[in-house]
Chain A
Amino acid sequence: MNHSLISDRQQRNGWQPGRLLQMLHVDATLLLCLLLLLGVGLMMLYSAGGQDMGLIIRQLVRLGVAMAAMLIIAQIHPDRMRDSAYWLYGFGLILLLAVLLFGTEGKGAQRWLDLGFFRFQPSEIIKLAVPILIAAFLAERPLPPSAWRLIFGLVLIGLPAFLIAKQPDLGTAILIASSGLIVVFLAGISWKLILSFIGSCAAAAPVLWYFMHDYQRRRVLTFLNPENDPLGAGYHIIQSKIAIGSGGVFGQGWLQGTQSHLEFLPERSTDFIFAVIAEEFGLVGAIMLLCLYLLIAARGLFIASQAQSSFSRLLAGSISITFLVYVFVNVGMVTGLLPVVGVPLPLISYGGTSMVTLLAGFGILMSIHTHRRMMSP
């Protein structure tokens, strides 16, 4: 390594990994936690997928792509992100419209855009575009935002959320809306407004029910009483609860989970992988995993608090909290606290697109943290 390129008073002799990472715009703490989580994820996937090496290799390839995306994005200065926010958002919206018009269907929903050589979900772009745009938009003027800025911001959040809900993919729509709303919350809107918003949401619930698709209503009903539909969605929850419960405090041991291996815990390598973890590693393993998630989010929140512009603070905060929301929605679903909405467990569930987006989000966090202008050594 050629250290002489770095002209800094602090340069000492010898190997300095921290400085190298800083140069690559990588945050060591965050990277370490992520690698640990991904390692656990691969281990669980190996068990849940029936010890299929092919599955692991495919997941590793995706991980490679996602890691590359993270590192590339970490090199981009947050100001560039702020400047291109509107373009990214507009691009994402156009793709969403394209999906509604030309998208290919899978499992009763139109989510994919087929570009011939590969298919992808434009909602993944929007997942990042919304918090970036809202953060950029609100940070343009002094905070807390004025009333009309707030309203305009809500429209910017609602538009893509509506398009995605129409696909129909209510789970993703809610997650995207919440990533935008978190920015609005962080931007300091008054508590009075927040409370009245929550109140009106509660009032809007019956209206929402009216516009729901049958399969969505069924999910809500099944959530309220899984026994209603023991062959369908209720089956997922019943089996998942049995798997988790039988894990006990210390679990059955890795590769030893009976429910997930011999029986039919559905979607066990994707949405319901948390049940496999809870069965094989028990309460201790499950809580440790959740703490790892909390640790990653805490690092993200720390990065947000140390950021040097309101835009960066808002964006970093939103990414970190949204990450936790993902975890909560998935674990809540698997443990029977929340309805079955089909959200994967971040960075562990088998599957590609969300992995890239999530790590790209952490790339943004790293960029924000490593592009700070040093005010003191």
Chain B
Amino acid sequence: MATRFTLKDHFRESRLINGRLLFAAFLSVLVFSAVFVRLVVLQVVEYEHFDSLSDRNRVDIEPLPPQRGLIYDRNGVMVAENIPTFSLEMVPEKVPDLEQTIAELTTLMSLTDEDIEEFRERLKQHRQFHQVVVRQRLTEQEVARFSANRHRFPGVDIEGRLIRHYPQGNLFAHAVGYVGRINERELQIIDQQDYKGTLQIGKTGVEKEYEETLHGEVGYRQVETNVQGRIVREIMSEPSHSGDDLFLNLDINLQRVAGEALTDFNGSVVALDPRNGAVLALVSKPDFDPNLFVSGISSKDYAELRDSPDRPLFDRALRGSYPPGSTLKPFVVLAGLELGVVTEHSKTYCPGWYTLPGHDHRYRCWKHHGHGMVDMTDAVAQSCDVYFYDLAHTLGIDRLHQFLDLFSFGHQSGIDIPSESAGLSPSREWKRASRNQAWFPGETLISGIGQGFNQTTPLQLAHATATLAMRGVMQEPRVVRASRKAGDNTMQLRSSDRVNNLPMQNSQNWEAVIDSMVEVIHGARGTARHVGEKMPFKVAGKTGTAQVFGIAQDAKYDAETIARKLHDHALFIAFAPADKPEFVVAVVVENGGSGSKVAAPIARKLIIQHFGLELDEPQPDQ
């Protein structure tokens, strides 16, 4: 029973608490005695041991950075390697007088103002007790000159390092990416232990996505150093483990052919193996030399790349958003078949224009005088817009959007390279959410021919085409084929494990659409007849032209009078062989003007290269 405490209680409590206080005091003395004993052990018993570690020499622990994994293309051609260089490095904490040291180094090593400026920039971001590069890529004379004067510069030393080198130059600039100096933001993310002694980290492309695989494991060695911090003796060491080597699906020959075929156009080429999602070519033009970034790009070079109106740093294959134009039509017609809106043989009359019921606005077909009566195959082969206006109108935007969703339009393809754009597949909900506007029926029509709000990346186009080619089997695109552990030569395949089968009610619909795409190439009136010439197999494809700007109601497009920047984008998608697809290609040529004249021939060159065809020489058998 609880009572208010009385004086008697108070005395009892005092005795109780004081007893406990006494016990606590006793315990404290006991615990501190343990600390005393510990100090005696360290400072008296083991004094000799620690004194020898500290007094004569000083123990330093030095990280041994791992060698970054190499990267090869699918033929085993080296794409990224490590080459030895000498660099002048400084640990600022060990330098007695920084300014004086810089001044003396400037005279000795003839540092330029730019060198010093960049060094100061690096100095601001450096990690405590870590080397800061003063100057990279020393010549042998410079190494010799510094070595002779080394005693004058405590805390400064020549460091032999392996730095990244991309022997193929521009060819893989966007796909493989590059490494660069670790910046402050990355410093927050990485495990500081793993990156002791490492100066570079993957910044873009494969180099970034596979950073963990490529990086390897840091080693260390315990060394004795003299007062100046120079190493006297190694006490023990734990070697570093190199990162895994990567083997790409990319084919250097395809990369080269695609890059050359684009000539001086800006644009992008993506080629896939539809059977397993392997990315065979991933080209974005213009490109740049990734080697510029490895040892810190000079601000002048960077400004040039950044400010160029052609935007060479921009990866068009993954991030370039273009209206798909007519390349979307095979997917739209498949929607029509699948949802029972059209059949293989139902026909639409094309007078050269289309009007919505109750409106008088004319939506024009690209062919001014019309295609006449067209069925599905004609419509795809001749790219008749009116057929698709009508089809899209009947489907409605909701069903169209839902169906295109299946092919990942408006979604990332899931490629193993960072910063892929999702593109845009418009819908009623999207327009309401992003623009707070209602959807207009006319917008459904232009969506049906891949114009309007539609935005796709070249990769998305290739990915959707691959899914179509495989009759609905969808695979995530993969740039990296396999990795190889350093040391033992075990290969680990890295195939796409996300395989998705699109649900279709009638598998005959696939064949109908693919047949119509074969007509594009091999039909008498196909828009890309020249692509299939002399090919030993059937090719399926579709041309496309994406409007860069709107054309007035009755104006006629006149390529001659419009500046090249305003030319339409030329697009082309194709796969071969049509019945058993092994190769898919999507081409986007910015301001190329015509899909069939500019984009399609590029695809043909890639097909020829990939299948090793020798068509341009006279072939008696063909």
List, in ascending order, chain B residues with CB within 8 A of A188's CB: 13, 16-17, 19-20
Name B229's closest neighbour in chain A (CB-CB): A262
Q: B residues 1-58 with Cβ under 8 Å of A? A: 2-3, 5, 9-10, 13-14, 16-21, 24-25, 28-29, 31-32, 34-36, 38-40, 42-44, 46-47, 49-51, 53-55, 58
List, in ascending order, chain B residues with CB within 8 A of A182's CB: 24
Q: With both chains docked as a complex, state the minimum distance between the C-beta of B444 and any C-beta of chain A, in angstroms.
A: 46
Q: Are B218 and A231 in contact (CB under 8 A)?
A: yes
Q: Mark A23-52, 1 if CB is under 8 A from B, else 0.
A: 000000000000000000000000000000
Q: Are B51 and A246 in contact (CB under 8 A)?
A: yes
How far, in angstroms, from A305 to B192 measured CA to CA in the complex?
50
Partner of A231, one of B29, B42, B63: B63
Q: Within 8 Å of chain B (Cβ to Cβ): is A136?
A: no
List, in ascending order, chain B residues with CB within 8 A of A144's CB: 16
Choose, from A125-133, A205-213, A327-335, the stretch at the interface: A327-335
Q: With both chains docked as a complex, state the minimum distance between the C-beta of B80 and any C-beta of chain A, in angstroms.
A: 27
Q: With both chains docked as a complex, state the minimum distance between the C-beta of A298 and any C-beta of chain B, in angstroms.
A: 7
Given A246-B54, A249-B44, A258-B55, the answer on whether A304 and B21 have CB atoms closer than 8 Å is: yes
Choose, from A55-63, A113-121, A313-321, the stretch at the interface: A313-321
Q: Within 8 Å of chain B (Cβ to Cβ): is A247?
A: yes
Q: Are A185 and B60 in contact (CB under 8 A)?
A: no
How far, in angstroms, from A274 to B21 measured CA to CA in the complex?
28
Name A335's closest neighbour in chain B (CB-CB): B38
Name B35's closest neighbour in chain A (CB-CB): A331
Choose, from A166-174, A196-204, A280-288, A354-362, the stretch at the interface: A280-288
How far, in angstroms, from A232 to B38 measured CA to CA in the complex?
23
How far, in angstroms, from A336 to B61 measured CA to CA in the complex?
19
How far, in angstroms, from A287 to B49 measured CA to CA in the complex?
21
Q: Are A286 and B54 in contact (CB under 8 A)?
A: no
How far, in angstroms, from A287 to B55 measured CA to CA in the complex?
22
Name A321's closest neighbour in chain B (CB-CB): B24
How far, in angstroms, from A247 to B3 measured CA to CA in the complex?
59
List, in ascending order, chain A residues with CB within 8 A of B28's CB: 294, 297, 321, 324
Q: Mark A234-276, 1 if CB is under 8 A from B, else 0.
A: 0100110111111111000000001100111000000000000
Given A245-B42, A245-B51, A337-B38, the answer on whether A263 and B20 have CB atoms closer than 8 Å is: no
Number of chain B residues close to chain A: CB under 8 A: 50
Q: Within 8 Å of chain B (Cβ to Cβ): is A161?
A: no
Q: With both chains docked as a complex, state the minimum distance between the C-beta of B97 and any C-beta of chain A, in angstroms.
A: 14
Partner of B50, one of A186, A235, A244, A263: A244
Q: With both chains docked as a complex, state the minimum distance between the C-beta of B195 and any C-beta of chain A, in angstroms.
A: 10
Given A142-B13, A231-B63, A282-B43, the answer on whether A335 and B35 have CB atoms closer than 8 Å is: yes
How far, in angstroms, from A188 to B39 measured CA to CA in the complex?
34
Q: Within 8 Å of chain B (Cβ to Cβ): is A229?
A: yes
Q: Within 8 Å of chain A (Cβ to Cβ): is B549?
A: no
Q: Within 8 Å of chain B (Cβ to Cβ): is A187?
A: yes
Interface size class of A (residues with CB under 8 A): 35 or more
Given A335-B39, A337-B34, the answer on whether A142 and B3 have CB atoms closer than 8 Å is: yes
Q: Within 8 Å of chain B (Cβ to Cβ): is A224?
A: no
Given A241-B42, A287-B36, the answer on whether A301 and B13 have CB atoms closer than 8 Å is: no
Q: Within 8 Å of chain A (Cβ to Cβ): is B196?
A: yes
How far, in angstroms, from A337 to B93 measured CA to CA in the complex?
30
List, in ascending order, chain A residues with CB within 8 A of B18's CB: 305, 313
Q: Are A301 and B24 in contact (CB under 8 A)?
A: yes
Q: Are A186 and B21 in contact (CB under 8 A)?
A: yes
Q: Within 8 Å of chain A (Cβ to Cβ): is B170?
A: no
Q: With both chains docked as a complex, state the minimum distance between the C-beta of A188 and any C-beta of chain B, in angstroms.
A: 4
Q: B residues 263-285 with Cβ under 8 Å of A? A: none
Q: Within 8 Å of chain A (Cβ to Cβ): is B227?
A: yes
Q: Within 8 Å of chain B (Cβ to Cβ): is A141?
A: yes
Name A229's closest neighbour in chain B (CB-CB): B193
Q: Mark A101-129, 1 if CB is under 8 A from B, else 0.
A: 00000000000000000000000000000
How far, in angstroms, from A264 to B13 measured CA to CA in the complex?
52
Q: Are B58 and A317 in contact (CB under 8 A)?
A: no
How far, in angstroms, from A242 to B53 measured CA to CA in the complex?
7
Q: With both chains docked as a complex, state the minimum distance between the C-beta of A297 and any C-beta of chain B, in angstroms.
A: 7
Q: Within 8 Å of chain A (Cβ to Cβ): is B366?
A: no
Q: Are A143 and B17 in contact (CB under 8 A)?
A: yes
Q: Within 8 Å of chain A (Cβ to Cβ): is B129?
A: yes
Given A142-B3, A242-B53, the answer on whether A328 and B35 have CB atoms closer than 8 Å is: yes
Partner of B193, one of A142, A187, A231: A231
Q: With both chains docked as a complex, state the minimum distance between the C-beta of B192 and any C-beta of chain A, in angstroms.
A: 8
Q: With both chains docked as a complex, state the minimum distance between the C-beta of B441 and any C-beta of chain A, in angstroms.
A: 48
Q: Within 8 Å of chain B (Cβ to Cβ): is A370?
A: no
Q: Are B54 and A142 in contact (CB under 8 A)?
A: no
Q: With both chains docked as a complex, state the minimum distance between the C-beta of B198 and any C-beta of chain A, in angstroms.
A: 12
How far, in angstroms, from A335 to B2 measured CA to CA in the complex?
48
Q: Are A283 and B61 in contact (CB under 8 A)?
A: no
How far, in angstroms, from A96 to B45 measured CA to CA in the complex?
46
How far, in angstroms, from A282 to B50 measured CA to CA in the complex?
13
Q: Are A317 and B35 in contact (CB under 8 A)?
A: no
Given A185-B24, A229-B193, A230-B222, the answer on whether A245 and B47 have CB atoms closer than 8 Å is: yes
Q: Within 8 Å of chain A (Cβ to Cβ): is B59?
A: yes
Q: Are B10 and A290 in contact (CB under 8 A)?
A: no
List, in ascending order, chain B residues with CB within 8 A of A336's CB: 38
Q: Within 8 Å of chain A (Cβ to Cβ): is B439?
A: no
**What 7 A-B pairs have minimum CB-CB distances, sorted nearest first?**
A245-B50, A246-B54, A188-B16, A283-B43, A245-B42, A313-B17, A186-B20
Residues of A within 8 A of B (CB): 141-144, 146, 182, 185-188, 229-232, 235, 238-239, 241-249, 258-259, 262-264, 278, 282-283, 286-287, 290, 294, 297-298, 301, 304-305, 309-310, 313-314, 317, 321, 324, 328, 331-332, 335-337
Q: Can you spell out 25 A-B residue pairs with CB atoms less than 8 angstroms apart?
A: A142-B5, A142-B9, A142-B13, A186-B20, A187-B20, A230-B222, A231-B61, A231-B218, A231-B220, A242-B50, A245-B42, A245-B43, A245-B50, A246-B50, A246-B51, A263-B54, A283-B44, A286-B43, A297-B28, A304-B17, A317-B24, A328-B32, A332-B35, A335-B38, A336-B38
Known pairs A186-B17, A245-B54, A324-B31 / 19 extra A-B pairs, C-beta < 8 Å? A142-B2, A188-B20, A230-B61, A230-B220, A230-B222, A231-B193, A231-B218, A248-B44, A248-B47, A249-B47, A258-B58, A259-B54, A264-B129, A278-B42, A283-B39, A287-B39, A297-B28, A301-B25, A337-B38
